[in-house]
Amino acid sequence: MVAAQRRRGPDVIDGGTTRSKVTGPAHLILTGGRVQTHDAARRVAEAIAVRQGRIIAVGTAREVRPLAGPRTRVIELAGRMVLPGFQDTHVHPPIGGLARLRCDLHEQRGLDTYLRIVRGYADGHPDETWIRGAGWHMPDFPGGTPQRADLDRVVPDRPVFLRNRDAHGAWVNTRALELAGITSATPDPPDGRIERGASGVPSGTLHEGAMRLVEPLLPPDTPADLESAIRLAQAHLHGLGITAWQDACVTPEVLDAYRALAGRGELTARVVAALWWERGKGSEQIDELIERRGRSEIGRLRATSVKIMQDGVLENFTGAVLEPYLDRHGELTTNRGISFVDPEALKGHVTRLDAAGFQVHFHAIGDRAVREALAALEAARHANGASDGRHHIAHLQVVHPDDLPRFRALGVVANVQALWAFHGAQIDKLTIPYIGPDRSRWQYPFASLRRAGAALCMGSDWSVSSANPLLQIEVAVQRVAAADRDGKPFLPEERLDLPTALEAFTIGSAYVNHLDRLTGSLEAGKAADLVVLDRDLFAPDASQIGEARVLLTMVGGEPVHEDPGLGA
C-alpha cells in the first residue's frame, strides 16, 4: 500500500489498544484470535468490540473484555482470524446472478457436458423463446471457437445465445444467426469479429461487438429479473466475506434495479456503480451520467465511477497490443487487436469525466490498451491538476515495463484479477503461443507493479471466474491454481506476499471505492465491516489459503452471513 493511500480512522490511541469515544457496553466482542487490523501500522490484535455498528475497541483480550455488558454477545475465536471485510473492485453481480437463473455452464467443462445441460435446460423451459445462458470455457474448443452445428443437434427449433465465461464472445446456433440475418456476406463490425469456416460461412462464435448483431433480438431483462439476480449475487458474495463491491458494468436498467433495492433497504452491501460508457457515443453522454449519479445516492449505493472498456481479450485477438499477434506457426501477423475508443478521443473523454468528479475504471488487457489508458489519465491530470478520483485500470494482463512507474507517477491504482495468474489452458494454449515469450514475461506483473510503487486493489471479475477472495489471494501468493498446487508457478517472481495481497482486497480496495475512511481496516471509530475465518492464515499449520471458510460476515455491525460453525 502506498503510504499516501492510507487514511486513519477517527480513533483514539491508548497504548496498544485503539478505543473510540463511544460510551456504553459493546454489543459484540470477538476475542481470542488473530485480528488483522490493516491499519497504517499493520498491527495485529486479539480482540475487537462493536457497538451500534461501529468498532469501539481493538486490542488484547484483557483490554477489550471489560467492555462486555450483560447483553453483549461474546464469541471465542479459539485462534481463528478476523479481517476487514473483503471489497471486490471489479465484479458483475447482476450477470452472475442472471447466469444462475438461466442455462448456467460456469461450473462445467467439455462439449458433451455443455450440450447435455443446454438440452436439459431447453426441455425444462419449453415456453422460453430464446435459450440464454453463459459460462462455456474457450479452451474446451479448438481455437477457442465452438460450432453452431453442435448446438443445432440439441436445440434445432429455437435460437440459442450463450456467452462465454469472460463475456467477450457468444456461441449461437443456426436459428439465432438466421434471425439476426448474419450470413457469409455480413461484414465484421469495427469492434468485433464473426468467426467463419473455410468458405466464409459463420460458424457459430461471435466475438466482442459482433454479439451486438444478435443482442437486440434477445428478450429484455425485466426489473424483477435484475433485482432477483442482484439479491442472489449479494447472498453469494456475502457468504464469501465480501462486504462491498464495485460493479464494473452498470447500464441504466441495472442502476434502476440497484436503486430499487437500496430504496427498500435490501442492498446490505456497500456498492459503487461503475456506469457503463457507451463506446458508440462521445462526451455528449457525460451530462446523462451526471444525472444518473445525482439520483443514485441511496442507502449504501453510490454511482461515482464510469467504466470504459478499451480493448477485448488476448484469446480472441481483440486485446490491444503494441506489437502484432503471432499466428499458430509463430509468424507475425498484421493484427494488433482493437482499441474500442479512439486513443485521442479517449484523452478528451477522460479529461471531461475527471473534471466532472467521476472516477474512471478502465478495462485494459493488452499493453497498448494499458498505455492508452495511462495516456488518457495523464492528459486529464495535465488539464485538471491532481484529483482525488482514484482512477484505476483493471486486468493488466500485459504491461510494458516502461509503463510500470507511470502508475505511481499518475496516482493510478492497479486493479488486479489474481485468479488468472497461473499456468492453464487459457494462458498456455490460447495466449503464450500468440504473443511470444518476451511479452509473456510481462503478464500479470503484480510484484513488479508493487515494486514500482503502484497502489494495488483486487477484483474477481465474477462470474468470469470465482468470486472467492481467498482463492484469488492464494494465487496471488503462489502463482499456481488451487487445483494444481504442486504444479509449476507462473512467473513466480511476480508473487505477492500474504500481507500485501490481503491489504489489496481490503484497505486497498476500500481506497478505490472511496470507503477507506469508513471501512477497509479494523480501527476504533470505523464501521464494523468484518469477516471471521475458520483459521489463522498466518499460522504455520494453516492449510492452503483457498480452503479457508468464512464463518461470519458483518456489514455495519449486522451479520449478513453466519456459518453454524462460528459458535456462540
- The domain that holds 45 is classified in CATH as 2.30.40.10
**Helix, coil or strand: residue 220:** coil
Half-sphere exposure of 450 (CA within 13 A, CB side): 21
Mean per-residue pLDDT, 130-146: 91
Q: Give the model's pLDDT for residue 3.
A: 35
Mean per-residue pLDDT, 14-27: 70
Confidence of residue 23 (pLDDT cuts 50, 70, 90): confident
In a domain, 476, yes or no: yes
Mean per-residue pLDDT, 7-19: 42
Considering the domain architecture, whether residues 476 and 549 belong to the same structural domain is answered as no
> Where does 310-384 show beta strands of DSSP type E?
359-364
Considering the domain architecture, whether residues 473 and 334 belong to the same structural domain is answered as yes
Mean per-residue pLDDT, 309-330: 96
**Using one digit for the tens of pLDDT, what is the confidence trace for 199-221?**
999 999 999 899 999 999 999 99
Q: Give the model's pLDDT for residue 401.
A: 99
In a domain, 235, yes or no: yes
In a domain, 117, yes or no: no
What average pLDDT is seen over the chain? Answer: 94
Considering the domain architecture, whether residues 264 and 161 belong to the same structural domain is answered as no
DSSP string of 58-127, one letter each residue: EE-HHHHGGGEEEEEEEEE-TT-EEEEPEEEEEE-HHHHHHHHHSEE-TT--SHHHHHHHHHHHHHH-TT
Residue 160's φ and ψ, nearest 5 degrees, are -125, 135
Q: Residue 193 sits in a domain of what CATH number?
A: 3.10.310.70
In a domain, 121, yes or no: no
**Using one digit for the tens of pLDDT, what is the confidence trace for 284-296?**
999 999 999 999 9
In a domain, 400, yes or no: yes
Worst-scoring range by mean pLDDT, 10-24, 204-218, 342-356? 10-24
Instruction: Please give the Cα distance from 380 to 360 (Å, whole number).
Output: 11
Instruction: Please give the Cα distance from 31 to 18 (Å, whole number).
Output: 15
Question: Which ranges of 297-366 does DSSP label H, i.e. alpha helix?
Answer: 343-355
Considering the domain architecture, whether residues 423 and 445 belong to the same structural domain is answered as yes
**Helix, coil or strand: residue 471:** helix
Q: Give the model's pLDDT for residue 2.
A: 37
Q: How many domains is the chain built from? A: 3
Mean per-residue pLDDT, 438-453: 98
Considering the domain architecture, whether residues 332 and 398 belong to the same structural domain is answered as yes
Q: For the stretch 416-446, what's the b/e string if a residue is b when 16 or more beta carbons lie within 10 angstroms of its beta carbon?
A: bbbbbbbbbebbeebbbbbbeeebbebbbbb
Considering the domain architecture, whether residues 330 and 279 belong to the same structural domain is answered as yes
Domain endpoint, select from 162, 185, 217: 217
Determine if residue 204 is left, alpha or beta; phi over 0 gives left, psi from -120 to 50 gives alpha, anything else beta: left
In a domain, 292, yes or no: yes
Considering the domain architecture, whether residues 480 and 353 belong to the same structural domain is answered as yes
Considering the domain architecture, whether residues 438 and 454 belong to the same structural domain is answered as yes
Considering the domain architecture, whether residues 211 and 229 belong to the same structural domain is answered as no
Q: What angle do CA 290, 395, 254 make, to 5 degrees?
A: 40
DSSP string of 177-207, one letter each residue: HHHHT--TTPPPPTTEEEEE-TTS-EEEEEE
Instruction: Please give the Cα distance from 257 to 218 (Å, whole number).
Output: 19
Residue 208's φ and ψ, nearest 5 degrees, are 50, -125
Q: Give the model's pLDDT for residue 17.
A: 64
Instruction: Please give the Cα distance from 454 to 405 (Å, whole number).
Output: 7
Closest CA to 244 of 394, 396, 474, 457: 457
pTM for the full predicted model:
0.90
7-16, 517-526, 540-549 — most confident range: 517-526
Better-predicted residue by pLDDT, 380 or 543: 380
Q: Please say whether the beta carbons of 191 and 208 come within 8 A.
A: yes
Considering the domain architecture, whether residues 350 and 228 belong to the same structural domain is answered as yes
Q: Residue 284 sits in a domain of what CATH number?
A: 3.20.20.140
Q: Give the model's pLDDT for residue 107.
A: 84
Considering the domain architecture, whether residues 12 and 145 belong to the same structural domain is answered as no
Confidence of residue 4 (pLDDT cuts 50, 70, 90): very low
Q: Please say whether the beta carbons of 11 and 45 come within 8 A.
A: no
Task: Provide the residue range defining the domain that includes 183.
Answer: 130-217
Q: Give the model's pLDDT for residue 12.
A: 28
Within 10 angstroms of residue 224's Cβ, the number of other Cβ atoms is: 10
Confidence of residue 5 (pLDDT cuts 50, 70, 90): very low
Mean per-residue pLDDT, 329-358: 98
Q: Give the model's pLDDT for residue 20.
A: 66
Confidence of residue 568 (pLDDT cuts 50, 70, 90): low
Considering the domain architecture, whether residues 282 and 306 belong to the same structural domain is answered as yes
Better-predicted residue by pLDDT, 52 or 20: 52
Worst-scoring range by mean pLDDT, 15-24, 89-98, 166-175? 15-24
In a domain, 102, yes or no: no
Instruction: Please give the Cα distance from 407 to 392 (Å, whole number).
Output: 9
pLDDT above 60: residue 119: yes
Mean per-residue pLDDT, 449-459: 99
Output the nine-digit C-alpha cell for 92: 458483475
Question: Which ranges of 135-181 does DSSP label H, i.e. alpha helix?
Answer: 148-154, 174-180
Q: Give the model's pLDDT for residue 51.
A: 98
Mean per-residue pLDDT, 41-69: 97
Q: Please say whether the beta carbons of 514 and 489 come within 8 A.
A: no
pLDDT above 50: residue 1: no
Residues 6+ apart with CB under 8 A from 437: none
Q: Give the model's pLDDT for residue 466.
A: 94
Residues 6+ apart with CB under 8 A from 209: 189, 190, 191, 192
Q: Give the model's pLDDT for residue 178.
A: 95
Output the nine-digit C-alpha cell for 340: 474500442
Within 10 angstroms of residue 280's Cβ, the number of other Cβ atoms is: 11
Look up cell 479512439; give the residue: 342
Domain endpoint, select from 217, 248, 277: 217
Worst-scoring range by mean pLDDT, 7-21, 211-225, 243-257, 322-336? 7-21
Half-sphere exposure of 165 (CA within 13 A, CB side): 22
**Using one digit for the tens of pLDDT, what is the confidence trace for 144-173?**
899 999 999 999 999 999 999 888 899 999
Tell me the C-alpha to C-alpha distance, in Å, between residue 391 and each of 7, 337, 361, 362, 458.
17, 24, 6, 8, 14
In a domain, 120, yes or no: no
